[in-house]
Homo-oligomer: A and B are copies of this chain.
Amino acid sequence: MVGAGVIGLAIAWRLAGARLQVALVDPHPGAGASDVAAGMLAPVTEVTFGEDALTRLTLASAARYPTFVAELEAASGVQVGYRRSGSLTVALDRDDLAVLERLRTYLEERHLGVERLSASQARRREPLLAPETSGALFAPDDHVVDPRLLVRALREACIRAGVAEVSAAATRVLIEGGRASGVELEGGGCVAAPVTVVAAGAHSAELTAGVEEMPVRPVKGQLLVLRTAGGVPLLQQTVRGLAHGFSAYMVPRGDGRLVVGATVEERGFDVSVTAEAVYSLLRDARRLVPAVDELELVEWRAASRPGTPDNAPLLGEAAVPGLVWATGHYRNGILLTPLTADVIAELVVHGRIADIAAPFVSARFARGKVRS
């Protein structure tokens, strides 16, 4: 196992639960894209037009969340901040309203429960919405989890299940007799294994360079954390804005923190927090909820998400035997964690890929088939 983000940790936990020996290689567990996630579990609002297979995947993973969280909290003794609060997508101007209507139609055609709210209904749900609010879409099935707590819980569960954490950077997947035989570690040494699961996020492609080329690239994301002075949450649920180039959203935590995310930028492995991103995020947030102005800015972060040409994950066996992909989760890593863990564990233990994951195997990116 390479990569101790939420994906790698959850797979390791499931594999250890199936009584396999697991070594999880990562110099900084939970420090990548998992740490720069708001924790929105929004299969409904984040639906991608025309990507029904991906929507089925995200909905299936969202459906597993309650059981996943219950099991994980019991196994780890750590609460992960899972809240079924719904999300509110807010329209300000006429263009926003048109987008809102298209989204509603698309969702209703797929029997995804959403509720169209007037401006006053929306403000009844969130009194601090901007006066220009012209309407909203409430998605009761969009929930939220705290990604840092999720990492903490998964690490604890892994330790209790006997997973060995290897605190080193993997440099490449090793091949022996035509099979993946483990990974080489920075500074020498290696971890040998009959099966190597690559869950190294945006760094996954580097590990298999020359072995199997996969089009996984870094997609930069930046977010801010604000906080109310008294610790009382400013919002009751996730509030999202429309368009403006950014996908602006605000996710309240119970302690008064408010996560404002997130940019989507093609910048390679750059993880600096830029003036432009901070400006844009604050501009969009205060446009939706002017009271944001009064909040204290307490944290900013940037990370590289693992993107693929079709924005969908890369799951299942590689062409090279003994190598398994679990990456490319792009903006859906937290949401897809439960399902990915189950799918990959089933693949490693029983050798079969679940039907729902079949569209996301690596064969779709094989030479000559790469969509870009």
A residues whose Cβ falls under 8 Å from a Cβ of B? 226, 229, 272-276, 278-279, 282-283, 285-286, 292-297, 300
With A297-B300, A300-B297 given, is the CB distance from A282 to B274 under 8 Å? Answer: no
Chain B residues positioned under 8 Å from A274 (CB to CB): 293-297
Contact, CB under 8 Å: A293 / B273: no
Contact, CB under 8 Å: B273 / A278: no
Chain B residues positioned under 8 Å from A285 (CB to CB): 275
Partner of A229 from the list B272, B273, B294 (CB cut-off 8 Å) is B272
Q: How far is the CA of A300 from the CA of B282 in the complex (A)?
A: 15
Contact, CB under 8 Å: A226 / B295: no
Contact, CB under 8 Å: B279 / A294: no
Chain B residues positioned under 8 Å from A278 (CB to CB): 278, 282, 297
Q: How far is the CA of A64 from the CA of B278 in the complex (A)?
A: 40
Q: How far is the CA of A226 from the CA of B282 in the complex (A)?
A: 17
**What is the CB-to-nearest-CB distance from A292 to chain B, in angstroms, rounded to a whole number?**
5
Partner of A282 from the list B279, B292, B293, B296 (CB cut-off 8 Å) is B279
Contact, CB under 8 Å: B286 / A275: yes
Chain B residues positioned under 8 Å from A300 (CB to CB): 297
Contact, CB under 8 Å: A286 / B279: yes
**What is the CB-to-nearest-CB distance from A263 to chain B, in angstroms, rounded to a whole number?**
12
Chain B residues positioned under 8 Å from A283 (CB to CB): 279, 283
For residue A224, which residue of chain B has the nearest CB?
B275
Chain B residues positioned under 8 Å from A294 (CB to CB): 274-276
Q: How far is the CA of A282 from the CA of B280 in the complex (A)?
A: 10
Contact, CB under 8 Å: A275 / B279: no
Q: Other CB < 8 Å A-B pairs besides A282-B282, A297-B300, 10 of them?
A: A226-B275, A229-B272, A274-B297, A275-B293, A275-B296, A276-B294, A278-B278, A279-B282, A279-B286, A279-B293
Q: How far is the CA of A295 from the CA of B293 in the complex (A)?
A: 23
A-B contact pairs, 7 of them (CB 8 A): A274-B294, A274-B296, A275-B286, A275-B294, A276-B286, A278-B278, A279-B283
Q: How far is the CA of A296 from the CA of B300 in the complex (A)?
A: 11
With A278-B278, A279-B279 given, is the CB distance from A273 to B296 under 8 Å? Answer: yes
Query: Which one of A275, A285, A292, A294 has the greatest number of beta carbons of chain B within 10 Å?
Result: A275
Chain B residues positioned under 8 Å from A296 (CB to CB): 272-275
Q: How far is the CA of A259 from the CA of B227 in the complex (A)?
A: 24
Chain B residues positioned under 8 Å from A286 (CB to CB): 275-276, 279
Q: How far is the CA of A279 from the CA of B290 in the complex (A)?
A: 12
For residue A229, which residue of chain B has the nearest CB?
B272
For residue A290, which residue of chain B has the nearest CB?
B276
Query: Which one of A226, A276, A283 has the greatest number of beta carbons of chain B within 10 Å?
Result: A276
**What is the CB-to-nearest-CB distance from A361 to chain B, in angstroms, rounded to a whole number?**
38
**What is the CB-to-nearest-CB distance from A230 to chain B, in angstroms, rounded to a whole number?**
12
Q: How far is the CA of A278 from the CA of B286 in the complex (A)?
A: 12
**What is the CB-to-nearest-CB distance from A297 to chain B, in angstroms, rounded to a whole number?**
5
Q: How far is the CA of A231 from the CA of B75 in the complex (A)?
A: 48
Chain B residues positioned under 8 Å from A226 (CB to CB): 275
For residue A271, which residue of chain B has the nearest CB?
B296
Partner of A275 from the list B272, B275, B276, B282 (CB cut-off 8 Å) is B282
**What is the CB-to-nearest-CB distance from A229 to chain B, in angstroms, rounded to a whole number?**
7
Chain B residues positioned under 8 Å from A297 (CB to CB): 273-275, 278, 300
